[in-house]
């Protein structure tokens, strides 16, 4: 099989259906599947001219999100491994060197790159399908186990991890995504830029389903994206928690009853979504909020309950996020540090296993070797959780974020929730610093409003939390985040 087979099928079965709406440059261009196929065929021809084949892995770096999709599909069709990069620094250069990547296809002119640069033009609107259709099926060979997509992730830790997804793995991820979201009847837009992995994959899934996508360019303002969603009545939207907070702020500024009148489904991937954010999103943005449990290594595992395309969040523990809808072919257990399974409502490490042959997750180590990350056949994402007798999964946060202060286990979310209730506090992030006597001392960093008093705050939160209260308060302007908006707790502790 080849991951792009459904898209190529749509090129010939849905030729006049709009595949994507290109809104870059201030103009609106509706690109049909036929036009998309012609552009992909042209790109395949260019890739072959460069001497690139299925034995290669290539970097891509596009400003134009539509062109990014074209070359992503074209390279995948040829069985070429794809490594999307946003820059050429840090982990990106480490990956490029270890994998021996020697070429980057891009649309950026006159920019120096550390490897060979090939700049291409947007060919979406100037191609005829008959001219290029010979390329579309000729090289769609069986690529099931071949590397498809190079991924690197750091989550909330800031520590980079690099791994490959195969064509078969990509198809499995798409199937699990479709179990949660009705992409077969939805147009799609992501607030996250298309060159980010999570957004690109969701755009790709929607094209496979024959639906229209709206790639977001770097030039788009937040207000413009909202206008696009309302104008085109887009059904499915992807956002990270940082975007949700911005949406709430935009709704309050506009003082409208609700930001999206047509109630699109809004996907947020966050194991812990703040109660106040969730409440305001459902009141001011859209009631159809789905909080999905997903991680880079495996994709979607479960989500808050959905019914008939609408989200219905089940009852939650005050400091947790509870997931009740699991995709098929996934097994989730709670285990202790010895790998033994725990009973109902016992807190422990979340362990995940896919019921698939040759299930594996391998990371690229510093020596360039691929090392399995499974422990006795299970993948541990690093989260603490519990499962009820009914099977619902409750997530309490990162295992390595939990603090032990004077023998007391403290979840950062407990401190953060209490801090947000205190006078003149906008937001809070809790973490621990090492101490010889107390093991870890709880610290809370806060962003605040005018009139905030640190000493009064510490007394106020002490009344709420007692022995679990933070000992130190650090007022800050903002919190360090990764490219997806996730807060980097470890960096704060430094």
In a domain, 430, yes or no: yes
State the pLDDT at residue 317: 40
Output the pTM of the full model.
0.83
With a cut of 60, say whether residue 315 has pLDDT above it.
Answer: no
In a domain, 193, yes or no: no
- Residue 174 phi, psi (nearest 5): -60, -40
Least confident of 2-16, 289-303, 308-322, 385-399: 308-322
Residue 72 to residue 70: CA distance in whole angstroms: 5
Q: Band the pLDDT of 309: cuts 50, 70, 90.
A: very low
What percent of the chain clears pLDDT 90, i.e. is strictly above it?
Answer: 34
For residues 266-303, one letter each, b for 16 or more C-beta atoms within 10 angstroms of the residue's C-beta and e for the rest, the string is bbbbbbbbbeebbebbbebbbbbbbbbbbbbbbbbbbb
Average pLDDT over all residues of the chain = 83
Contacts (Cβ under 8 Å, ≥6 apart) of 258: 251, 283, 284, 285, 286
Residue 428 to residue 413: CA distance in whole angstroms: 9
CATH classification of the domain holding 417: 3.30.300.30
Q: Band the pLDDT of 50: cuts 50, 70, 90.
A: very high
State the pLDDT at residue 338: 93
State the pLDDT at residue 136: 57
- Residue bearing the bigger pLDDT, 485 or 204: 204
Q: Band the pLDDT of 88: cuts 50, 70, 90.
A: confident
With a cut of 60, say whether residue 319 has pLDDT above it.
Answer: no
* Residue 123 Cα to chain centre, angstroms: 28
Per DSSP bridges, beta strands 188-190 and 161-166 are unpaired
Host domain of residue 469:
402-493
Residue 399 to residue 436: CA distance in whole angstroms: 21
Residue 183 to residue 203: CA distance in whole angstroms: 10
The mean per-residue pLDDT over the stretch 119-136 comes to 66
The mean per-residue pLDDT over the stretch 182-188 comes to 89
In a domain, 446, yes or no: yes
| Residue 20, beta-bridge partner list | 31, 213
* Look-up of token digits 């962003």: 447
Contacts (Cβ under 8 Å, ≥6 apart) of 278: 289, 291, 313
In a domain, 439, yes or no: yes
The mean per-residue pLDDT over the stretch 46-73 comes to 91
In a domain, 249, yes or no: no
With a cut of 70, say whether residue 484 has pLDDT above it.
Answer: no
Q: Band the pLDDT of 308: cuts 50, 70, 90.
A: very low
Q: Band the pLDDT of 86: cuts 50, 70, 90.
A: confident
With a cut of 50, say whether residue 306 has pLDDT above it.
Answer: no
With a cut of 80, say whether residue 82 has pLDDT above it.
Answer: yes
Q: Band the pLDDT of 160: cuts 50, 70, 90.
A: low
State the pLDDT at residue 400: 81
In a domain, 440, yes or no: yes
Number of separate domains in the chain: 1
In a domain, 406, yes or no: yes
DSSP secondary structure string for all residues of 421-477: TSTTEEEEEEEEEEETTTEEEEEEEEEE-TT--HHHHHHHHHHHHGGGS-SEEEE-S
State the pLDDT at residue 313: 33
Identify the three-state secondary structure at position 52.
Answer: coil
- Residue bearing the bigger pLDDT, 245 or 14: 14
Contacts (Cβ under 8 Å, ≥6 apart) of 249: none
In a domain, 214, yes or no: no
């Amino acid at each position: 099989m080849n991951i792009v087979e459904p898209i190529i099928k749509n090129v010939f079965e849905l030729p006049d259906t709009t595949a994507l709406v290109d809104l870059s440059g201030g103009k609106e261009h509706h690109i049909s599947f036929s036009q998309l196929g012609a552009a992909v065929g042209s790109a395949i021809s260019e890739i072959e001219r460069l001497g690139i084949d299925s034995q290669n892995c290539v970097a891509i770096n596009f400003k134009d999100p539509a062109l990014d999709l074209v070359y992503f599909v074209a390279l995948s069709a040829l069985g070429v491994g794809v490594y999307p990069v946003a820059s050429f620094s840090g982990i990106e250069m480490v990956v490029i060197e270890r994998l021996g990547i020697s070429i980057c296809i891009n649309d950026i002119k006159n920019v120096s790159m550390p490897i060979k640069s090939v700049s291409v033009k947007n060919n979406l609107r100037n191609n005829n399908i008959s001219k290029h259709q010979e390329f579309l099926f000729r090289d769609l060979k069986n690529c099931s186990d071949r590397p498809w997509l190079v991924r690197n992730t750091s989550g909330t830790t800031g520590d980079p991890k690099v791994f490959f997804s195969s064509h078969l793995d990509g198809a499995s991820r798409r199937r699990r995504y479709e179990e949660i979201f009705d992409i077969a009847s939805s147009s799609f837009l992501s607030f996250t830029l298309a060159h980010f992995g999570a957004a690109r994959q969701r755009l790709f899934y929607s094209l496979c389903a024959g639906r229209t996508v709206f790639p977001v360019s770097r030039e788009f303002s937040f207000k413009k994206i909202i206008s696009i969603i309302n104008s085109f009545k887009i059904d499915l939207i992807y956002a990270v928690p940082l975007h949700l907070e911005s949406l709430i702020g935009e709704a309050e500024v506009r003082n409208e009853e609700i930001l999206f009148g047509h109630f699109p489904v809004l996907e947020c991937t966050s194991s812990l979504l703040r109660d106040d954010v969730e409440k305001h999103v459902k009141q001011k943005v859209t009631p159809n909020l789905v909080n999905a449990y997903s991680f880079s290594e495996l994709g979607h595992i479960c989500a808050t309950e959905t019914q008939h395309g609408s989200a219905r969040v089940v009852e939650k523990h005050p400091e947790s996020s509870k997931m009740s809808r699991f995709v098929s072919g996934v097994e989730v257990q709670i285990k202790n540090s010895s790998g033994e399974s725990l009973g109902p409502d016992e807190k422990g490490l979340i362990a995940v296993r896919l019921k698939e042959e040759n299930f594996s997750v391998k990371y690229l180590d510093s020596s360039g070797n691929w090392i399995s990350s499974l422990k006795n056949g299970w993948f541990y994402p690093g989260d603490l959780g519990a499962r009820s007798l009914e099977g619902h999964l409750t997530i309490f946060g990162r295992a390595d974020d939990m603090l032990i202060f004077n023998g007391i286990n403290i979840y950062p979310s407990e401190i953060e929730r209490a801090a947000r209730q205190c006078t003149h506090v906008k937001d809070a992030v809790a973490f621990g610093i090492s101490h010889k006597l107390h093991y870890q001392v709880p610290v809370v960093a806060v962003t605040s409003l005018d009139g905030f008093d640190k000493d009064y705050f510490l007394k106020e939160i002490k009344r709420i939390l007692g022995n679990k209260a933070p000992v130190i308060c650090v007022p800050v302007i903002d919190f360090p985040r990764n490219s997806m908006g996730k807060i980097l707790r470890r960096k704060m502790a430094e």
